[in-house]
RNA sequence: GGAAGGAUGGGUGAGUCUGGCUGAAACCGCUCGACUCGAAAUCGAGUAGGCAGUUUUGUCUCGGGGGUUCGAAUCCCUCUCCUUCCGCCA
């Protein structure tokens, strides 16, 4: 109950026109399409309620506008009479009643609008037609494999065993200082983490043309709503007490919201940003999963890529951003595969997502290390990010994309496991040696 | 934390004291046209958005929310953000 109230209080300001979420008109005109999308995502449909409210809204609006028109006309008349020094009291009296009626209609309309927004903000993006239909991750489609998982001729260890044996990961200290799912990295481990951050940022800025930003790690409720974390996923985030501020779950949030409520210049597009940030996730509902190691932490580091592009280019850009992410894994010579997420596994805001999964020997499988998504205009709508396609044309929503480039902690885990040696040491991947200054962690 | 000032269209910025004829001057930018071999300069025209209906229309929006009033960019309350000064701090 209280949570609900809280979310409600910090929903985005109802700006002029309410440029938020999926478009009402679009939903109205494409009820079937939206309905189908919800079904493919394994979600219940709130559209009956939506249609009912929408109908009520339009009826009330019509009545209300008629009254407002009357008021405007008569107000002009009153002004005119007063200027001429004539008496207007009989009209004023009549208008008092009209104004009261308008006030009542306004109240009803506001209530309906709130109900509509609450529904709309919880409707996810519509999957792109190329997205495979499926229930869960089992139905994701593998589209590419790179590298050969290494064959070990000795008893290989998990990354947490390696980390503790080399004294570069300290789980006990993490849980003492903070709690479960927090870890200290020490010595070469700390350095490895830092090296990866620098390495990834260097690759993306120098080779892939991203401009680097260093964002705030705390964002407000409007921003969280803009990228789609709120209102549905409040429980997945850490919230500051008594403030409408949240620890960011990814740099996507602050970087995408940099341009919230802005009209971008066509000549500045596309905009590419890359950003390092710490990421904070409550991992609600993940009890018991990946409890060992650093695969699933409440705090982890990530280098993120974010793009703002013209709509017609966004699917081309999705391929590019995915390649940009792949490239850092290739440079590190870590075997990985690329999968297209199916409708049931797709995240709330995304129209299409490629996951990069790195080979993890100890798990004997591929694990997600990057997620590259095209949100089309979903986030742009919520966040009000537009541009003018032609000088005379009216504004249009841009398309946003992002991709992990890539998650640092999981890369550390992958390096420790894939590059481990029989004597317990870990070879440093060649690309990282300039950053690490050593060839072997021992 | 204390004090003062401010938030207006793509940008700069008038209007706020003295409420109505201001959805908003002027300038810049941008678009089209004229001039030109072409460009610059100059001149002319155009140039916010949401919602509802869509043939002419109506309505709402001057940071957000609320109030006063027949009527608010304009008066009052409140919140947010920005600027300047003081204090504090890495």
Nucleotide nearest A12 (Cα, C1'): B64
Using the structure, give the distance in angstroms from the CA atom of A271 to the C1' atom of B83, rounded to a whole number: 29
**Greatest CA separation for chain A:** 103
In 3D space, the residue among A424, A439, A430, A435 whose CA is nearest the CA of residue A163 turns out to be A424
Q: Which nucleotides of B are covered by protein (CB under 7 A)?
A: 10, 20-21, 30-31, 46, 48-53, 58-61, 64-66, 69-71
The helix (run of H) or strand (run of E) holding residue A262 is: strand A262-264
| A39 beta carbon to strand B: under 7 Å | no
Q: Collapsing DSSP states into helix, strand and coil, what is residue A238?
A: coil
For A432, residues 6+ apart whose C-beta sits below 8 A from its C-beta are A192, A195, A196, A199, A332
Domain boundaries, chain A: 2-120, 137-441
Paired tokens of A441: 């962690």
Using the structure, give the distance in angstroms from the CA atom of A83 to the C1' atom of B17, rounded to a whole number: 21
CA distances from A406 to A95, A204, A330 (A): 63, 11, 12
Quick one: which residue's CA is nearest to B59's C1'?
A65
| A17 beta carbon to strand B: under 7 Å | yes
Using the structure, give the distance in angstroms from the CA atom of A23 to the C1' atom of B21, rounded to a whole number: 38
In 3D space, the residue among A345, A271, A352 whose CA is nearest the CA of residue A309 turns out to be A271
What was the ipTM of the complex prediction? 0.84
Using the structure, give the distance in angstroms from the CA atom of A13 to the C1' atom of B9, rounded to a whole number: 20
Q: Which of residues 77-96 of A touch strand B (CB under 7 A)?
A: 78-79, 82-83, 92, 95-96
For A75-121, the DSSP string reads: HHHHHHHHHTT---HHHHHHHHHHHHHHHHHHHHHHHHHHHHHHHHT
For A276, residues 6+ apart whose C-beta sits below 8 A from its C-beta are A197, A200, A201, A214, A251, A301, A302, A303, A304
Using the structure, give the distance in angstroms from the CA atom of A377 to the C1' atom of B53, rounded to a whole number: 27
| A56 beta carbon to strand B: under 7 Å | no
In 3D space, the residue among A22, A32, A17, A50 whose CA is nearest the CA of residue A123 turns out to be A22
DSSP annotation of A186 reads -
Report the C-alpha gap between A53 and A372 in whole angstroms: 36
Phi and psi angles of residue A418, each rounded to the nearest 5 degrees, phi first: -80, -30
Instruction: Say which CATH topology domain A2-120 has.
Output: Helix Hairpins (1.10.287)
Q: What CATH number should be reported for the domain whose range is A137-441? A: 3.30.930.10
Nucleotide nearest A68 (Cα, C1'): B59
CA distances from A47 to A35, A50, A53, A267, A344 (A): 7, 5, 10, 39, 19
| A59 beta carbon to strand B: under 7 Å | no
Nucleotide nearest A24 (Cα, C1'): B51
Strand bridging mode A271-280 / A352-360: unpaired
| A75 beta carbon to strand B: under 7 Å | yes
| A18 beta carbon to strand B: under 7 Å | yes
**What's residue A21's pLDDT?**
56
- Tens of each residue's pLDDT in chain A, 442 residues: 222 222 222 333 333 223 345 678 888 888 888 999 999 999 999 999 999 999 999 999 999 999 999 998 898 888 888 877 788 888 888 888 889 899 888 888 888 888 888 888 888 999 999 999 999 999 999 999 999 999 999 999 999 999 999 999 999 999 999 999 999 999 999 999 999 999 999 999 999 999 999 999 999 888 898 899 988 888 899 988 877 889 999 999 999 999 888 888 888 889 999 999 999 999 887 888 898 999 999 999 999 999 999 999 999 999 999 999 999 999 999 999 999 999 999 999 999 999 999 999 999 999 999 999 999 999 988 888 888 787 667 788 899 999 999 999 999 999 999 999 999 999 999 999 999 999 999 9
């Amino acid at each position: 109950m209280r949570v609900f109230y809280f979310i409600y209080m910090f929903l985005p300001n109802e700006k002029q026109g309410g440029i938020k979420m999926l478009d009402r008109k679009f939903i109205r005109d494409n009820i079937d399409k939206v309905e189908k999308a919800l079904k493919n995502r394994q979600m219940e449909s709130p559209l009956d309620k939506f249609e009912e409210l929408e109908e009520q809204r339009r009826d009330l609006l019509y009545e209300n506008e008629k009254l407002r028109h009357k008021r405007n006309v008569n107000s002009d008349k009153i002004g005119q009479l007063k200027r001429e020094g004539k008496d207007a009291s009989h009209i004023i009296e009549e208008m008092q009643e009209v104004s009261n009626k308008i006030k009542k209609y306004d109240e009803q309309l506001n209530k309906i609008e709130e109900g509509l927004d609450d529904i709309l903000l919880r409707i996810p993006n519509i999957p792109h037609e190329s997205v495979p239909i499926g229930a869960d991750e089992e139905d994701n489609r593998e589209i590419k494999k790179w590298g050969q998982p290494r064959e070990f001729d000795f008893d290989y260890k998990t990354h947490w065993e390696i980390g503790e044996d080399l004294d570069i990961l300290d789980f006990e200290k993490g849980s003492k200082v903070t709690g479960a799912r927090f870890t200290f990295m020490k010595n070469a481990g700390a350095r490895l983490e830092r090296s990866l951050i620098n390495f990834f940022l260097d690759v993306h800025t120098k080779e892939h043309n991203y401009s680097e930003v260093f964002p705030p790690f705390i964002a407000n409720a409007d921003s969280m709503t803009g990228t789609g974390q709120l209102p549905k996923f409040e429980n997945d985030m850490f919230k500051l007490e008594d403030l409408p501020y949240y620890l960011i779950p990814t740099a996507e949030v602050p970087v995408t919201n940099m341009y919230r409520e802005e009209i971008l210049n066509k000549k500045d597009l596309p905009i590419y940003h890359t950003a390092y940030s710490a990421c904070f996730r409550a991992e609600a509902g993940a009890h018991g999963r990946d409890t060992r190691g650093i695969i699933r932490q409440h705090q982890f580091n990530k280098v993120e890529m974010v793009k703002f592009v013209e709509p017609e280019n966004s699917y081309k850009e999705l391929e590019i951003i995915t390649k940009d992410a792949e490239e850092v894994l290739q440079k590190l010579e870590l075997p990985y595969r690329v999968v297209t997420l199916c409708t049931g596994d797709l995240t709330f805001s995304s129209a299409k997502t490629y996951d990069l999964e790195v080979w993890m020997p100890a798990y004997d499988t591929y694990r997600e290390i990057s997620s590259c998504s095209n949100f089309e205009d979903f986030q742009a709508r919520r966040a009000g990010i537009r541009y003018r396609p032609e000088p005379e044309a009216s504004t249009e929503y841009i398309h946003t994309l992002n991709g992990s480039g890539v998650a640092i902690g999981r890369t550390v885990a992958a390096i420790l496991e894939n590059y481990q040696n029989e004597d317990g040491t870990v070879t440093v991947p060649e690309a990282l040696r300039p950053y690490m200054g050593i060839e072997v962690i021992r």
